[in-house]
Amino acid sequence: MKKIKLGIFGPSGRMGQDILKQLKSFNEFDLVSLCEKKNHINIDKEINKVKITSDIKSLINLSDVIIDFTSPKASLKLLENIKENKDSTAIVSGTTGYSKVEDEKFIKLSKNLTVLRSFNMSIGVNLLKTLVSTSAKNLSNISDVEILEFHHNKKKDVPSGTAITLFDSIKEGSNHPKKPVFRTQTADRVRKPNEIGFSSIRGGNVVGEHTVFFFMDGERIELTHKADDRKIFSVGALKAAKWVYDKKPGLYTMLDMIS
């Protein structure tokens, strides 16, 4: 069986390292390229007999699929280079922290490329999104909805990309417009109808925990996903790379893969 030529963009990061660790369980792949930003401390280091370089064009030309967990700026640069060099190379992108302008640019650059994008590669979280959307359809008009997320103390973006996609799921299921509100200190503000509150906690080595609350009169429903091991994201990314390899150009999500 022909193996899928896999490239990893950002192999030195937390997710990159764990993807390399889990890769040994996936015989479908042949690791062909590892790419970091210029002047990175790990340039020229070898992992699994593959040397880390800063040659993004080589990464693209050698790979059938690239897994990308970097930064918005780096991910956009990757998309630009794929369009210029080899638009048949597929991407699995788990980068978070995009601004509105960067997000719009990502979507525009993805046109005519094969891209699977998810802010959370966990199958459980993506099933949670379906449950949240269904619950919102039945409950969002009679409840106050809040999102709470926990992450480790090294995470930069607040709220998490997953929390934002859970808000999107609430909007999809609801019959009324919903407004995101980020909970901060205030001495004079009551909760308004149709707002979705975000609260974030950062500490320790928490891998990730997300809860959506539906507060009703005298009762509440809590939908929670807890990640205890980072490998659920790296395994999910590798499964996504296997799935997207032979797909036609399009912007896919983990829900497309699951369904």
Spatial neighbors of 24 by CB under 8 A, at least 6 apart, are none
Among 155, 171, 242, 247, the active-site one is 155
Token pair in block for residue 129: 């999104």
- Active-site residue 152, yes or no? no
Spatial neighbors of 147 by CB under 8 A, at least 6 apart, are 159, 163, 166, 167, 196, 197, 198, 199, 210, 211, 212, 213
H or E segment to which residue 22 belongs: helix 14-22
How far, rounded to the nearest angstrom, does the alpha carbon of residue 246 sit from its chain's CA centroid?
Answer: 21
- Active-site residue 155, yes or no? yes
Among 129, 151, 210, 225, the active-site one is 151
Token pair in block for residue 192: 């308004």
How far is the first Cα of the chain from the last one, in angstroms, to the nearest whole number? 25
- Find out whether 14 and 94 touch, Cβ atoms under 8 Å: no
Q: Which residues are known to be catalytic? A: 151, 155
